[in-house]
Amino acid sequence: MIISIVNQKGGTAKTTTAINISSGLVKQDKKVLLLGMDLQGDISYALNITNQEKSISEVLMGEVLIQDIILQREGIDVIPTNISLADVELSIGKVENNSYLLKTYLSVINKNYDYVIIDCSPSLSLLTLNALCASDQIIIPLQLTVMGVNGLELMLSTVEKVKKILNPSLKIMGILPVIVDKRKNLSKEIMNYLIEMFSIRIFKNSIRANVKAAEAPSFGISVLEYAPNSTSAIDYKNLVKEIINS
Ligand SMILES: Nc1ncnc2c1ncn2[C@@H]1O[C@H](COP(=O)(O)OP(=O)(O)OP(=O)(O)O)[C@@H](O)[C@H]1O
Ligand SMILES: [Mg+2]
C-alpha cells in the first residue's frame, strides 16, 4: 500500500509523521519504504543522510535506477530527497504524462513492501501530483487551529480533481490531528466542526504536542528511537496500530 502524507500548508508535521509512521510500522514487522518528495530534503536531515547521496531527483531524471539508491535507517528502507528536486520540477515540466513518472518508477519496487510512505512538499506542485498519482491512500496531518483548517477545503477539492482525472482509486485514509494541545477548547470545537462539515474519517489517535517530537530530527533519528516513552512516540505507535487495522 502506498500512502502519501500530504497537506499544502507548511509545518503541519508531514515529515515528522512520515518518519514516525514508518518507524512504527517497522516495529510491527512490516516492510517499509520511506520516500522523500519534499524540496527541502527534510527526511534526509532528520535521518542523518548527507546531501551527497543520490536521491529521488536522479531517479525522476532517469539518471539512476530506483532500486540502486535505497538506504537503510532504523530498519526502514529510505529513498532520500535533496534540494535538486526543485530543478527536477522544471526539467520534467514538458515530459509527456509527467504526473505518472513516480508511479512508473515505484512499480518496479512496490511489490517488495507492505507500505510505501511518501513525505510531500507543502505545495500542490507537479511533485505532489506525482505522489498523489502513485498513491492508494493519503493521510492529511492537520493542526486544529483556525489557520490550520483554512486551506483544508482547497486540499480536499484538489484530491477530488486528482481522483476524477488522474487516479480514480485514490482514497483519503483520514485526517490526522497533530501538535494537539488537548487542554485547549478551540481544538475540541474545531474537531467537532470537521466531523460535521466533512464526511471524512478523523483518526482516533491524534498526535499531542510534545517537545521530544521537535528535538528528535536534530539527533538524526525518529522520536520512537529518541524518546520511546514520550507522548508523541506513544501517539505514533497507537496511530500505526490504527492504520494497520484500517
Ligand atoms: N507532536 C509535535 N509536537 C511538537 N512539535 C512538533 C510535533 N510534530 C512536529 N513538530 C514540529 O513542528 C515543526 C513542523 O514539523 P514538520 O517539519 O514535520 O512539518 P512539515 O509539514 O513536514 O513541514 P513542511 O511543510 O515545511 O515540510 C517542526 O519543527 C517539528 O519538529
Ligand atoms: Mg516536511
Residues 198-235: tens digit of each pLDDT: 888 999 999 999 999 999 999 999 999 999 999 999 99
Residue 41 backbone class (left: φ over 0; alpha: ψ -120 to 50; beta: rest): left
154-201 pLDDT, tens digit per residue, is: 899 999 999 999 999 999 999 999 999 877 777 788 888 888 888 889
- Strands 71-73 and 76-79: what pairing? antiparallel
Residue nearest to atom 14 of ligand 1 (CA): 11
For the segment 42-77, what is each residue's pLDDT rounded down to a tens digit? 899 999 998 777 889 889 988 999 999 999 999 999
Ligand 1 atom with minimal separation from the 217 CA: 31
- Nearest ligand 1 atom to the CA of 17 is 18
**What pLDDT does residue 11 have?**
93
pTM of this structure: 0.96
Q: Is the CB of 235 under 6 A from ligand 1?
A: no
Q: Is the CB of 234 under 6 A from ligand 1?
A: no
239 Cβ closer than 6 Å to some ligand 1 atom = no
Does residue 89 register a pLDDT over 90? no
User: Could you identify the atom of ligand 1 that is nearest to the CA of residue 214?
Assistant: 31
* Per-residue pLDDT tens over the stretch 75-85: 999 998 877 77
**Ligand 1 close to Cβ of residue 128 (< 6 A):** no
Return the pLDDT at 31: 98
Predicted pLDDT at 112? 97
For a ligand 1 pocket test, name from 16, 17, 152, 205 the mutation site with the most ligand atoms within 8 angstroms of its C-beta: 16
Does residue 44's CB lie within 6 angstroms of at least one atom of ligand 1? no
- Architecture per CATH, domain 2-244, reads as 3-Layer(aba) Sandwich (3.40)
Position in ligand 1 atom list of the atom nearest CA 9: 25
Q: Structural domain boundaries of the chain?
A: 2-244
Q: What confidence score (pLDDT) does residue 40 get?
A: 82
Distance 14 CA to ligand 2 centre (A): 5
Q: What is the mean pLDDT of residues 117-143?
A: 95
61 alpha carbon to ligand 1 midpoint, in Å? 29
Query: Would you say the CB of residue 13 lies under 6 angstroms from ligand 1?
Result: yes
Q: What is the pLDDT of residue 136?
A: 98
Residues sharing a CB contact under 8 Å with residue 144, sequence separation 6 or more, in sequence order: 177, 180, 186, 187, 190, 191
As a whole number of angstroms, the distance between CA 74 and CA 47 comes to: 9
Q: Which residues pair with 138 in a beta bridge?
A: 4, 172
Report, as an integer, the average pLDDT of 19-28.
98
Task: Determine the pLDDT at residue 94.
Answer: 83
